[in-house]
Chain A
Amino acid sequence: MKIKSQKDFFSGLLFMGFGVAFAWGAATYKVGQADRMGPGYFPLMLGILMTVLGVLIVAKALVVKTESGDKIGGWAWKPLAYVLGANLAFGVLLGGLPGIGLPAFGLVAGIYVLTLVASLAGKRFGFRRALVLATVLAAFSYLVFIVFLKLQIPAWPAFLAG
């Protein structure tokens, strides 16, 4: 049997996976019956529905012809890794990682690292340009979020602020 729509086939599998996982998890809670639903009732119902939908989508992907085969196409791994990596690095610098004894470096350091890493995801990367952008964004964010809106975000490294 040939896959007629790659996109549908894999999304169907994904939904089936989610459905089974949620239904399974829900079954570990008290399910109860319709007039006295336990915490498991609604998610179990939805999990089963989701699994059925997943099966239907997979079946459709195997049966219904599409013009181009509905290929998923290439993945943008590089932008994905840099954008999410920038976000994670920002989180680490902002809050620190007590698990490995890394102190919090605060917002300003986080902005510089985030901007530099995220810029790598673009088509053209210039270190100088990214640095200028980071400086502008850091100044703007400091003024808006810390000075003007007074959000409780640590701006500077914890060990400097004392």
Chain B
Amino acid sequence: MDLFSNLSLGFGVALTPINLLYAFIGCFFGTLIGVLPGIGPVATIAMLLPATFALPPVSALIMLAGIYYGAQYGGSTTSILVNLPGEASSVVTCIDGYQMARQGRAGLALATAALGSFFAGSVGVLMLAAFARPLTVLASKFGPAEYFSLMVLGLIGAVVLASGSLLKAIAMTVLGLLLGIVGTDVNSGVPRFSFGIPELIDGIGFVVIAMGIFGYGEIVSNLGQAEGEREVFTTEVHDLFPTKRDFKDITPAVLRGTVVGSILGVLPGGGALLGAFAAYALEKKVGQRPGDIPFGKGNIRGVASPESANNAGAQTSFIPLLTLGIPPNAVMALMIGAMIIHNIQPGPQVMARNPELFWGLIASMWIGNLMLVILNLPLNGMWIRLLKVPYDFLFPAIVLFCAIGVYATNNNTFDIWMVALFGFVGYLFIKLGCEPAPLLLGFILGPMMEENLRRALLLSLGDWSTFVTRPLSAGLLAAAVLMLFVVLLPAVKTKRKAAFIEE
């Protein structure tokens, strides 16, 4: 069996001591930043990227991937114990998880989150392995017109799912595309928007943008907010394991969460966040038996389902990245950047040209999930203690690691000036209510989009109808239009608002 031999190749790569070590480091950092509110996977991956330069590409990607899905595990701990989302994707877990903690059932909530995540993560990895080949076959039929349309679909997807104003999200995407264009034009050799600054001829580094906007911008915004009272449940974490009756409640919820999360993770603009919201909404719709604890009062299904969904989504969002080379969200956009730094051209050819990387990464994700269960269940006390570290100690450290990370990417102080500029811009966007994720996605896709647009129109002799006369391209564009249309429907519009209001 093909899949079997591929997976055994993958496990052969992932089980080498060095890759096990880096998977562990990634999962460890992922859990760490997942537990800590105020720092997300985007800034962390950007920060640790320079540390991977000396590594083989497989180990580097294994570690960076571990940060993303590890954060999904860690985020639930903070949500449950402190009623503060450690990660955005754990926002809904706060609702029932924190109530459970107040009733002295914190241990059960934590165990449910970790076990649900593990099951969902395993399914997500399997989906990734199973869908990889058919999708790369499809991708081989893609010409520049199809790639362009696919990227349009991806960007529209990101916009549709961004919270807040649709128009502003589109504008942020376009700004990202424009920033991506800064630097030398590959076709003509003309340096664009570089103002004669030699460092800008190579373009703006994506680490600089990610760090400035997601790192510094967020820190300043956090510091500007009034400190809320935190009530940490640290002493009474016991009774970790679910009873038979609990299992009866959890199992269907986990299954539903996994399905919802896996599907929404693949969608352009998807990932961990959306799945968690949708899964919680679904769980409420499914209803409950008489005598069950109502949702919002500590229903265990309100923890099981979204926590499964966010982890499933984190895994399946690698599908478009690894098979098509198209990042569905900001974290995946960073992974593309990391691949390029390590000289791997993202796209359908990765599977054929770097099979050990492709399958090694997939296998490592399953191993990583296993590590995370251990990191999060028996070692939970360690993370809980971490929650007591005041932000006053944390944020100077984050500022420092951002600065070192930015400098080490190019060994250039120019990037440090740039990151200050983008830190200011990032804070400005937060104040103006503009969500930054679409900007980062646009920034990564900008050069690719321009390249494919040019090629498509060169092949069609300047005829724009090529995008709608080629069936695959037309289908992708139709999907994009449909997505926009659906969000603009009045019924969905109010629902969308309601879904994000719980933040």
Contacts and interface: CB of A to CB of B under 8 A. Distances in A.
A46 B182 CA distance: 13
Contacts of B249: none
A137 B397 contact: yes
Contacts of A87: 216, 399, 402-403, 416, 419-420, 423
A42 B181 contact: yes
A100 interface: no
Nearest to A25: B193
Interface stretch (B112-120, B219-227, B284-292, B367-375): B219-227
A57 interface: yes
A50 B282 CA distance: 37
B407 interface: yes
Nearest to A33: B462
Given A14-B432, A91-B403, A118-B395, A39 B185 contact: yes
B462 A8 contact: no
B267 interface: no
Interface in B151-198: 165, 167-168, 170-171, 174-175, 177-178, 181, 185, 187-188, 190, 192-193
In this complex, the interface size class of chain A, counting residues with CB under 8 Å from chain B, is 35 or more
A7 B433 contact: yes
Interface string B450-471: 1001100110111110000000
B379 interface: no
Contacts of B201: none
In this complex, the interface size class of chain B, counting residues with CB under 8 Å from chain A, is 35 or more
Contacts of A105: none
A75 B431 contact: yes
B461 A150 contact: no
A36 B416 CA distance: 37
A152 B171 CA distance: 39
Nearest to B416: A91
Interface in A83-100: 83-84, 86-88, 90-92, 94-95
B431 A46 contact: no
B433 A11 contact: yes
A49 interface: yes
A146 to B, nearest CB: 10
Interface in A33-81: 33-39, 42-43, 46-47, 49-50, 53-54, 56-57, 60, 70, 72-76, 79-80
Contacts of A35: 457-458, 460-462
A43 B181 contact: yes
A111 interface: yes
Contacts of B298: none
Nearest to B185: A39
Interface string B374-417: 00000000000000000111011101101110011001010011
A83 B416 CA distance: 12
Contact of A37 (B396, B431, B457, B463): B457
A153 interface: yes
A95 B414 CA distance: 9
Interface string B424-467: 10011101111000000000000001100110011011111000
A124 interface: yes
Contacts of A60: 165, 167
Interface string A101-126: 00000010011001100110111100
B328 interface: no
11 contacts: A8-B165, A14-B428, A14-B432, A25-B192, A34-B462, A74-B224, A87-B420, A87-B423, A91-B407, A114-B399, A151-B408
Lowest 10 A-B CB distances belong to which pairs?
Answer: A76-B224, A35-B462, A91-B416, A95-B413, A79-B223, A34-B462, A39-B185, A118-B396, A11-B432, A122-B392
Given A79-B220, A145-B404, 19 more contacts: A29-B185, A30-B188, A34-B463, A35-B457, A35-B458, A36-B458, A42-B181, A50-B171, A76-B220, A76-B223, A84-B420, A84-B424, A87-B399, A87-B419, A87-B423, A123-B227, A137-B397, A145-B408, A151-B50
Interface of A: 7-8, 10-11, 14-15, 18, 22, 25-26, 29-30, 33-39, 42-43, 46-47, 49-50, 53-54, 56-57, 60, 70, 72-76, 79-80, 83-84, 86-88, 90-92, 94-95, 107, 110-111, 114-115, 118-119, 121-124, 129-130, 133-134, 137, 141, 144-145, 149-153
